[in-house]
């Protein structure tokens, strides 16, 4: 004889399945704007695609003239904007479990009503989890492309950017130049002062190089004490000026070393991208120019194929 609990459980299963079937039908028909919004957001981890979906779905319920989103993710600013703004706005700081996930702003020519503001808050409560996932995905991607010591791009990031820059240079017939910069006699610093001091100097060097280049340029830790600087839309003569500015910046580094401060110099090799050139060949030519600089006594810059 079945006990009462088993009988009740057996009777409840059809009811639960019926409720599940009813919920699925409602969900698949998407009559609910919140359900439709979250369902669409779940299809992508691209933050830009999510924001396009958010703008489209919210505008269907609450008209607005423009939407802007801004957030800093993994040392990079992410900005998204759609539409043309009006004088009235409402702004929301997006947070979940104590973590910040950007600022979302809506603009309109006429004032938002209290009901519309409540509607925004309901829609935002539905987007915060998918938006968090997209932000975290970007952070994970950036971590894989970032040197953990200096915070700049690593060798993998350089390889990806070289491929992109080569393709763009060929397509637009625009100059693009690569500088390889090596800290001179760096092994002596590690041997005499230890790797902690050496790591500190590497971090300082990355900071100095970043400050010495333009916003359109990018710096990477190529390996060990070697850095790479990619200069889009830059010819050899302009790159030589940048290389000399980098050397001057490195010479300004001063680290406490006891009686005398620890200083450092750098050697630079410069190579312009050639039409239809493979990235490996481009790197080899820049490395050859760097070898020339070191052979000439270090603390200088050389261009590939130039006479020392």
The domain at 10-144 falls in which architecture? 2-Layer Sandwich (3.30)
pLDDT by residue (tens digit) across 161-178? 999 999 999 999 999 999
Res. 7 pLDDT band, cuts 50 70 90? very low
What's the mean pLDDT when you consider all of the chain? Answer: 91
> What band does 307 get if pLDDT is binned at 50, 70 and 90?
very low
The H-assigned helical ranges of 173-302 are: 186-193, 195-212, 236-251, 279-295
User: Which residues are CB-neighbours of 250 under 8 A, at least 6 positions away?
Assistant: 181, 183, 205, 208, 209, 264, 265, 266
Phi/psi for 51 (5° steps) reads -65, -35
**pLDDT-based confidence at 308, cuts 50/70/90?**
very low
Whole-prediction pTM? 0.74
Domain with CATH 3.30.450.40 in the chain: 10-144
Q: Which of 236, 213, 222, 231 is nearest to 303 (CA)?
A: 236
* Residue spans in the chain of domains classed CATH 3.30.70.270: 155-303
Asked whether residue 130 carries a pLDDT value surpassing 50, the answer given is: yes
What is the set of active-site residues? 225
Q: Extract the runs of DSSP E, i.e. beta strands, from the chain.
A: 66-73, 76-83, 88-96, 99-108, 176-183, 218-223, 226-232, 266-272, 301-303
CATH superfamily, domain 155-303, is Reverse transcriptase/Diguanylate cyclase domain (3.30.70.270)
């Amino acid at each position: 004889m079945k006990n009462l609990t088993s009988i009740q459980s057996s009777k409840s299963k059809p009811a639960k399945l019926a409720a599940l079937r009813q919920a699925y039908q409602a969900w698949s028909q998407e009559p609910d704007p919140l359900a439709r919004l979250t369902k669409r957001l779940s299809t992508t981890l691209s933050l830009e695609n999510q924001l396009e979906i958010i703008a489209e779905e919210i505008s269907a319920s609450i008209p607005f003239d423009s939407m802007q989103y801004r957030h800093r993710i993994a040392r990079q600013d992410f900005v998204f904007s759609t539409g043309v703004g009006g004088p009235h706005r409402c702004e929301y700081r997006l947070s979940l479990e104590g973590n910040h996930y950007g600022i979302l702003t809506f603009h309109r020519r006429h004032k938002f009503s209290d009901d519309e503001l409540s509607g925004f808050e309901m829609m935002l409560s539905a987007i915060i989890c998918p938006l968090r996932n997209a932000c975290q995905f970007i952070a994970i991607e950036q971590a894989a492309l970032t040197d953990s010591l200096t915070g700049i791009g690593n060798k993998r990031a350089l390889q990806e950017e070289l491929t992109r820059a080569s393709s763009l240079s060929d397509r637009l017939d625009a100059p693009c130049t690569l500088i390889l910069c090596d800290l001179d006699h760096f092994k002596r610093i590690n041997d005499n002062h230890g790797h902690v001091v050496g790591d500190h100097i590497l971090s300082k060097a990355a900071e100095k190089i970043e400050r010495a280049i333009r916003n359109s340029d990018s710096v990477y830790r190529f390996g060990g004490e070697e850095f790479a600087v990619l200069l889009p839309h830059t010819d050899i003569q302009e790159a030589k000026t940048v290389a000399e500015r980098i050397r001057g910046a490195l010479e300004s580094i001063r680290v406490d070393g006891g009686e005398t401060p620890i200083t450092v110099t750098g050697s630079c090799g410069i190579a312009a991208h050639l039409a239809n050139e493979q990235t490996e060949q481009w790197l080899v030519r820049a490395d050859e120019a760097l070898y020339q600089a070191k052979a000439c006594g270090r603390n200088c810059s050389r261009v590939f194929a130039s006479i020392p």
